[in-house]
Structure 1
Amino acid sequence: MTRTAQALPTLVAHLLLLALGGAALAMPEVILARVSQLSGPFETRDWLMRGFGAGMIALSLALWIDARRAEGQPVARLLWLLGAGLTASFLLYAQQLSQWWIDDAGITFSYARSLAEGAGLTYQPGQPPTEGYSSTLWMATLALAHLLTFDIPQAAKTIGLGLTVLTLWISITWVWRVTDSALAMVLTVAAIGTAPTVVWSTSGQEHALQALLLLLIGVAAHLRLWRLPVALLLSLLIWTRPETPLIVIAVFVAALYMTRVEEGRTRFLRNLILAALPLAAFAGLMAFRMQYFGDHFPNPYHAKTSASSLAGLVNPFGGGWRYVWGGLQDSGLILLLPLVMVVGARDSLPRRWVIFAALAGHIGFVVWAKGDWMGQYRFLMPVLPLIVVPAVIAIDHAFSIRARAWLATLASVALFANTLTQVDKFDADPTTPLAVVSEIGQNFAKVAERMSIQTPLLAHHDAGAISYERSIGLVDLGGLVDRDVAKNMGNADFLRPYIFEQTQPHFIFGARNFAAASGFLDGPELARDYVPLRFPNHPIMASDYSHIRRDAVQVATGITLTRDADGTLTEVIVTDLEP
């Protein structure tokens, strides 16, 4: 076959990718109109198509770079251009969610605000210290941002995206150094930057920081200068996510096994630093918790693990395993997963086993916790680099040059397209937006103001925006900022007196979930002490439980009181909340 004939398929691929990428960038609505399974209106999905278009152009550039490299021509400057194009593709996808933060992030925002403003570690000033956030390091970072006069939600989104871009650049640098393939770099970004990463790097939560630290552990192991760096990174992870002790144990055991294989001896003392430094960090955190909060564990531990069990680890049909497999399938990474275990001649033993150990520790937690109810698999997002980088390197080890070029090209197109549809699906029905909960809290605050209710108190299962904005007081039926609720999430006998006699909120709002799932609202107390409260002109205020305390009801403008024949108040209807 002549050289021209061999180059023809590559030229055709170039032209197709450039045409598709250019059309997606220049005419996003026209292309979107022809995309099936689109969940939202075309005119609001431009950013997604632009991200896809940038990915296609980057893929075309990668084909050219690999062709030039094969001919011995310099490609260094083109690699920087490729990195910029891949970064642009990811950021354009993320721009679709620029106005979304998840409400749970607002809990961390509230603690960061209180700490920066001198109120201590509490969700609202004047409340007792409780640990309602999941990441000490992330909360402290946002508190510092607030001290520097940055807006906390915007800082969280910006830092999250910045950390994710850094993760992508470290990943593609690692892949390039091992494979010398620009196409492998594109596949790396297409696979790591799939929908879970787009969603959870923009959410305002700490998962982008967690993903970067886990990737750096893999890099340190790959460079074989790894025990002290990995120990330090694990120590930072201890302060980033509460499940890290499981990862520490797994990495320490893997290190003992590696020295046994390589040297014929376990070398316990040499590897002890991998457990000792993180253990010291963990002990310090536990001591601080006990001294400051009076509890060894944060509220999320009590609130979210009540239904978890060790039996779930060995139940392949359990919720945790379904969550893992569902995430790999929806993200498209199920196709790359078998390649993680492929071993090539240039593979690194520490990288292989340390990455496997970190994955095992993290996935063990995910399965034990039975996954997560939030969309787009936030618990899987931090370990995507640990799955993708070994898989992409394995392609270089296990396939011919032509085969891996076509595999990387086709897989990248499929993954970029899958990210478009998955992010679109999420954007059409996002998980608990901070803005929605903010509006709910503000609406109740307006009702309280109309009725001259002093220091109004709302019982609700979403605590983020309400805690952060402080428009109204809160009894958290989700338990994240309320230790008593967290420890008694399923105990209706405790919750009835706690809500109806001790805290006595002016408003109760929410669905039959979290504390409400215990059935504590099904007793006679709710009808005795509260009356239904409706907002017919505000769809987001529709709720299984929307009530106002009877003794707090007052005649007010824009509010209708309905009574039965005996004059007993039966319903409060809010018809107008505008000033």
Structure 2
Amino acid sequence: MSKGARSGLLLGLAVLFAFGTWLAWSFVIDDAFITFRYSRHLAEGFGPVWNVGGDAVEGFTNFAWMLWHGLFASFGAENLVTVAKVTSVVLGGATLVLLVRATDGVGAVVAGLAFVLFLPTYFHLNSGLETVAFAGVLLRLVIVALHVIDEERVFDWEPPLLLLLLAMLRPEGLLAGLPALAVWFWYSRRIPTARWGLGALLVVGAGYFLWRWIYYGQLLPNTFYVKFGDLAASSEWAGRTALALAPLLVLTLALLVVKGLWFKGALLSLTVVATYAPYAVSGLTMDYLHRFAYHAFPVLCLGAGIAVAAIGHRLASAAVGAVAVGWVAVTGAIAQGLPTIANYGVDLQRAHVAIGQGLAEAGLPEEARTLAVSDAGAIPYYSDWRSIDYIGLNDEAIAHGADPTTVVGKARPTVVIVTSYRPEIPGEMYGLDVRAATAGYQLVARIQMREDYWQNVFVLPQWAPQVSTAVTASTDAARLTYDQGRYELTVDRWLDRVSGR
């Protein structure tokens, strides 16, 4: 492919990329605000903690992502959502460039189109989480290893640094990047700078692991003790992933039998296996729009591009490539949960964000700003109240088996917020005995997020008037601003909104 043709392809793909990013710009996931809360407390000098002055608990899995946003917060950035979105868009664009430059001819077209036509790409770009950053760093590490296989010179400091960043973005990143690092080191083992680079990786990595073990007191982030372990969900996840990405998986595996490419195929295949292994043996939550499968999605796009280019016959290559691209475009567009996710951002604004902002404006004294909540994201972040997360993501005791009702009852927070999936108050939610936990409280607000989701705000009587006034004012204003009275979970509501209807 000539330089001009490659530039033209990149320009066309960039237009599609920009359009997809705009379509999903309103989306942000509630979990992202957990990380932002830690980032803000770090920037304020309290350390990466959930509650200022409380026990240190690691309620996030993306340490490097938390540090990155903490850096911006320390310089006065107030809108960390925008920081996260812009960072992911830049890294997503870099990923697209890497894909097109790492393949040739029809392979570059297939790799690039598969990436930009997969609709979940744009929701992961805008989610506020580290998903796209993780996928981009993993792709770069694999490409560096491919350069080494082709006997091209690489910077010896880059692979260890990429692996360290990958492991700090998510703990399982260490496993995902090991095949590529092993290939690089095998080819570079006689180069002194490569040995020094690997040694530095081991020292810095061990130091980081030891620090966080001492600081947080656990081998793994607290969330692993809550979210992982449902083996019954593992086969379902593997089946959904295999179906959604079938042509990319098949083409990548096909490289194993192509003369001259089998070693590259082995590297790509092992990387995918190593990336997916932790998810395939443990039940996952918050796996919206193939979120965890997306971690190796660009690697699969690369594998498919290399395989299609290797076919040789132009018509056959185009046909196989069209099937692969069309398949992932369709499976992405019909992904389970798309109607919920497409409308999630505005629904979050008129419920969780508005509640958190209302609590912050209630004017309660510092000692009364205490909260118990199950959706430990935007509400604790915007209120910045001392919070009990009774699911346990940010509470070590609950994560390790303590009864949420006992924990909440002992703390007696000013506000208890109970999620429900129907208009009625539930008897139990996430292990919390609602009647027992809210005995003596007043129900001051019931805020609907979407057609099957409510937040019920209970407040101690002495603070009920202030909280009720502030939260009602905030949520009423948000309800009029965001999708005015529309709560249905449909793609049509999303399309009406982005089209201005």
Q: What's the TM-score once normalised by structure 1's chain length? A: 0.69
| AA of the residue aligned to 2:356 | G
> Which residue is equivalent to 2:410?
501
Question: Which of 279, 300, 317 matches 1:366?
Answer: 279
Question: Which of 133, 151, 175 matches 1:246?
Answer: 175
Shift of 1:460: 1.1
Q: Count residues with an aligned counterpart.
A: 458
Whether contact under 8 Å (2:393, 2:399) holds in the other structure is yes
Note the 1:445-460 alignment, pairs <5 A: 455-460=368-373
- Following the alignment from structure 1 to structure 2, what is the Cα–Cα distance between the partners of residues 577 and 397? 57
Question: Which of 161, 184, 194 matches 2:89?
Answer: 161
Shift of 1:132: 1.9
Whether contact under 8 Å (1:327, 1:376) holds in the other structure is no
Shift of 1:376: 0.3
- Following the alignment from structure 1 to structure 2, what is the Cα–Cα distance between the partners of residues 390 and 104? 31
| AA of the residue aligned to 1:98 | W
- Following the alignment from structure 1 to structure 2, what is the Cα–Cα distance between the partners of residues 204 and 170? 22
> Which residue is equivalent to 1:329?
243
Shift of 1:284: 1.6
| AA of the residue aligned to 1:300 | T
Whether contact under 8 Å (1:93, 1:420) holds in the other structure is no
Question: Which of 298, 318, 335 matches 1:405?
Answer: 318
- Following the alignment from structure 2 to structure 1, what is the Cα–Cα distance between the partners of residues 394 and 71? 21
Residue by residue, what CA displacement relative to the aligned partner does 1:412-455 show, whole Å, maximum 9, x if unpaired?
Answer: 35544554555964554438965342123234556x65x99962
Question: Which of 116, 119, 126 matches 2:46?
Answer: 119
Whether contact under 8 Å (2:124, 2:132) holds in the other structure is yes
> Which residue is equivalent to 1:90?
17
Shift of 1:116: 1.9
> Which residue is equivalent to 2:496?
none
Shift of 1:365: 0.6
Whether contact under 8 Å (1:115, 1:143) holds in the other structure is yes
> Which residue is equivalent to 1:526?
437
- Following the alignment from structure 1 to structure 2, what is the Cα–Cα distance between the partners of residues 368 and 432? 34
Note the 1:439-478 alignment, pairs <5 A: 439-443=354-358, 455-470=368-383, 472-478=385-391
- Following the alignment from structure 1 to structure 2, what is the Cα–Cα distance between the partners of residues 274 and 164? 27
Q: Does 1:234 align with 2:163?
A: yes
> Which residue is equivalent to 2:456?
546
> What SS is found at the alignment partner of 1:299?
coil
Shift of 1:236: 1.7
| AA of the residue aligned to 1:500 | G
Shift of 1:237: 1.3
| AA of the residue aligned to 1:340 | T
Shift of 1:497: 2.5
- Following the alignment from structure 1 to structure 2, what is the Cα–Cα distance between the partners of residues 172 and 534? 52
Whether contact under 8 Å (1:499, 1:505) holds in the other structure is no
Question: Which of 104, 120, 128 matches 1:204?
Answer: 128
Whether contact under 8 Å (2:374, 2:419) holds in the other structure is yes
Q: Does 1:535 align with 2:446?
A: yes
Whether contact under 8 Å (2:26, 2:345) holds in the other structure is no
Shift of 1:120: 1.9
| AA of the residue aligned to 1:239 | M
> What SS is found at the alignment partner of 1:369?
coil
Residue by residue, what CA displacement relative to the aligned partner does 1:484-512 show, whole Å, maximum 9, x if unpaired?
Answer: 22222xx43xx332210234443232248
Change (3 A) 1:399 1:82: closer
Q: Does 1:146 align with 2:73?
A: yes
Point out where structure 2 has 5 or more consecutive residues left out of the alignment. 422-427, 478-501
Change (3 A) 1:324 1:90: farther
Change (3 A) 1:427 1:239: closer
Q: Does 1:392 align with 2:338?
A: no
Shift of 1:533: 4.6
Note the 1:41-80 alignment, pairs <5 A: 75-80=2-7
Whether contact under 8 Å (1:231, 1:274) holds in the other structure is yes
Shift of 1:250: 5.6
Shift of 1:461: 1.4
- Following the alignment from structure 2 to structure 1, what is the Cα–Cα distance between the partners of residues 358 and 160? 48
Shift of 1:475: 1.3
Change (3 A) 1:86 1:99: same
Question: Which of 139, 164, 170 matches 1:215?
Answer: 139
| AA of the residue aligned to 2:80 | I
Whether contact under 8 Å (1:175, 1:393) holds in the other structure is yes
| AA of the residue aligned to 1:303 | V
- Following the alignment from structure 2 to structure 1, what is the Cα–Cα distance between the partners of residues 345 and 242? 19
> Which residue is equivalent to 1:135?
62
Change (3 A) 1:345 1:165: same
Whether contact under 8 Å (1:215, 1:385) holds in the other structure is yes
> Which residue is equivalent to 1:288?
211
Q: Does 1:341 align with 2:253?
A: yes
Rg larger for: 1
- Following the alignment from structure 2 to structure 1, what is the Cα–Cα distance between the partners of residues 321 and 305? 8
Whether contact under 8 Å (1:97, 1:427) holds in the other structure is no
> Which residue is equivalent to 2:27?
100
Whether contact under 8 Å (1:376, 1:426) holds in the other structure is no
- Following the alignment from structure 2 to structure 1, what is the Cα–Cα distance between the partners of residues 468 and 303? 62
> What SS is found at the alignment partner of 2:290?
coil
Identity of aligned residues (%): 21
- Following the alignment from structure 2 to structure 1, what is the Cα–Cα distance between the partners of residues 165 and 400? 27
Change (3 A) 1:361 1:469: same
- Following the alignment from structure 1 to structure 2, what is the Cα–Cα distance between the partners of residues 464 and 519? 19
> What SS is found at the alignment partner of 1:144?
helix
Shift of 1:149: 3.8
> What SS is found at the alignment partner of 1:327?
helix
| AA of the residue aligned to 2:133 | L
Shift of 1:535: 2.8
Change (3 A) 1:223 1:531: same
- Following the alignment from structure 2 to structure 1, what is the Cα–Cα distance between the partners of residues 193 and 8? 43
- Following the alignment from structure 2 to structure 1, what is the Cα–Cα distance between the partners of residues 285 and 224? 13
> Which residue is equivalent to 2:110?
187
> What SS is found at the alignment partner of 1:223?
helix
> Which residue is equivalent to 1:479?
392
Shift of 1:228: 6.1
> Which residue is equivalent to 2:100?
172
Whether contact under 8 Å (1:320, 1:366) holds in the other structure is yes
| AA of the residue aligned to 2:411 | Q
- Following the alignment from structure 1 to structure 2, what is the Cα–Cα distance between the partners of residues 397 and 132? 45
Change (3 A) 1:480 1:272: farther
> What SS is found at the alignment partner of 1:336?
helix
- Following the alignment from structure 2 to structure 1, what is the Cα–Cα distance between the partners of residues 468 and 51? 30
> What SS is found at the alignment partner of 1:548?
strand
